[in-house]
């Protein structure tokens, strides 16, 4: 058996096209264009690439991209002042603070200055609490993307055993709550989990978000399981370096029913879900129904 390869690029392109159509409908109705503000502090090269890509994708979806760059020497108070100003600015619908922030700046304090109605990364304490309580809020992008990918092969996840490798606040924890909301039975695994291979082998849906290259071996995958690989790990040096996931893809695809590649799986979904959150935030802030995207 060889798994179906879940094409994250295609699923994300389809979602982005629906968002663009919805943005046009939003503009026709409100005469306003949703705007996403991205705050970049310092000159981390990877962060610069991410911010540029987010800006391009935002404009391609027909929304406004507003970039704010502060030098690495900016103080915590300066960053907070900028986030407060964006929170108060009516023309801004979404605020994203690019992480990591330079050493010396408390990311939690900065993030929690974002107006939760504009928290398109879903990282404020209020957004996290609303997700836990099952209340309406903005949901972190990468976990949202994982669930959309799983549902692209199995539209009803009810009753499935979802095993999540990793318990970070960015990926693992919110993902567990999203799968619970889909009526899955959820197991969280982490670095202290005993018999990790057996735990993984019991998964109908296995999500790997540990940040460890090829941690998940082929024989950790139950026959026919859906495997969602969140990991982004650079291995090798210089020109020979490449990006791999947390799953031994070649070995796992022989047993899985469906599997996401790295790159080209979860990655493209993260930006698409950011655009979706921006549009949803713009609609909710104006008392409109959630767009159907
Ligand atoms: P993180 O904060 O470092 O968390 C990693 C989690 O994995 C921790 O809970 C850790 O357990 C667990 N873990 C680490 N080694 C393990 C092992 N050997 N066995 C079992 N569990 C282990 O990472 P993150 O921010 O969640 O990101 C995880 C991965 O996803 C990274 O590769 C990251 O680059 C990638 N990522 C991708 C996207 C995307 O758009 N595709 C977005 C975000 C992140 P403990 O809690 O016990 O330490």
Q: What is the pLDDT of residues 71-105, one digit of tens each?
A: 999 999 999 999 999 999 999 999 999 999 999 99
Please say whether the beta carbons of 87 and 113 come within 8 A.
yes
144 within ligand 1 shell (Cβ under 6 A): no
Whole-angstrom distance, CA of residue 248 vs CA of residue 218: 6
Q: What is the pLDDT of residues 157-173, one digit of tens each?
A: 999 999 999 999 999 99
Clarify whether 98 is annotated catalytic: yes
Q: What is the pLDDT of residues 231-281, one digit of tens each?
A: 999 999 999 999 999 999 999 999 999 999 999 999 999 999 999 999 999
Clarify whether 48 is annotated catalytic: no
In DSSP terms, 5 is beta-bridged to 259
Ligand 1 atom 35: the closest Cα is on which residue?
A: 231
pTM over 0.85: yes
263 within ligand 1 shell (Cβ under 6 A): no
> Of the residues 93, 98, 222, 253, which is catalytic?
98
Counting from 1 in the atom list of ligand 1, the atom nearest the Cα of 210 is: 7
213 within ligand 1 shell (Cβ under 6 A): no
3-state secondary structure (DSSP) of residue 81: helix
270 within ligand 1 shell (Cβ under 6 A): yes
Q: What is the pLDDT of residues 45-56, one digit of tens each?
A: 999 999 999 999
Sequence-distant (6+) residues with CB within 8 A of 245 are: 208, 213, 214, 229, 230, 231, 232, 233, 260, 261, 262, 265
Q: What is the pLDDT of residues 265-276, one digit of tens each?
A: 999 999 999 999
- Determine the number of helices (DSSP H) and then strands (DSSP E) in the chain: 10, 11
Please say whether the beta carbons of 156 and 202 come within 8 A.
no
Please say whether the beta carbons of 93 and 61 come within 8 A.
no
Clarify whether 219 is annotated catalytic: no
Q: Nearest 5°: CA angle at 276, between 271 and 277?
A: 95
Q: Is the dihedral of CA 24, 25, 28, 29 positive or negative?
A: negative
> Of the residues 93, 115, 119, 121, which is catalytic?
121
CA of 140 to the centre of ligand 1 (A): 15
Q: Is the pLDDT of residue 1 over 80?
A: no
């Amino acid at each position: 058996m060889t798994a179906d390869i879940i094409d994250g690029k295609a699923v994300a392109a389809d979602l982005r096209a629906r968002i663009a159509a919805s943005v046009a409908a939003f503009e026709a109705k409100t005469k306003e264009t949703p705007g996403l503000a991205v705050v970049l502090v310092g000159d981390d090269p990877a962060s610069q690439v991410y911010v540029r890509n987010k800006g391009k994708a935002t404009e391609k979806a027909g929304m406004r991209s507003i970039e704010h760059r502060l030098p690495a020497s900016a103080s915590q108070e300066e960053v907070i002042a900028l986030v407060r100003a964006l929170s108060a600015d009516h023309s801004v619908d979404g605020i994203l603070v690019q992480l990591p922030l330079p050493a010396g700046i408390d990311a939690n304090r900065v993030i929690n200055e974002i107006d939760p109605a504009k928290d398109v990364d879903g990282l404020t304490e209020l957004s996290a609490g609303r997700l836990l309580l099952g209340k309406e809020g903005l949901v972190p992008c990468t976990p949202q993307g994982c669930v959309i990918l799983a549902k692209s092969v199995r539209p009803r996840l009810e009753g499935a055993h979802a095993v999540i490798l990793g318990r970070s606040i960015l990926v693992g924890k919110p993902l567990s709550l999203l799968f619970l909301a889909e009526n899955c039975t959820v197991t969280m695994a982490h670095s202290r989990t005993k018999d990790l291979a057996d735990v993984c082998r019991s998964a109908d849906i296995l999500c790997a978000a540990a940040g460890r290259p090829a941690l998940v071996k082929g024989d950790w995958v139950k026959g026919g399981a859906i495997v969602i690989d969140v990991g982004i790990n650079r291995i090798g040096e210089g020109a020979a370096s490449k990006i791999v996931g947390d799953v031994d893809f070649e070995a796992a695809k022989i047993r899985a029913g469906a599997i996401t590649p790295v790159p080209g799986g979860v990655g493209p979904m993260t930006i698409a879900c950011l655009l979706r959150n921006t549009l949803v935030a713009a609609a909710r802030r104006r008392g409109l129904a959630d767009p159907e995207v």
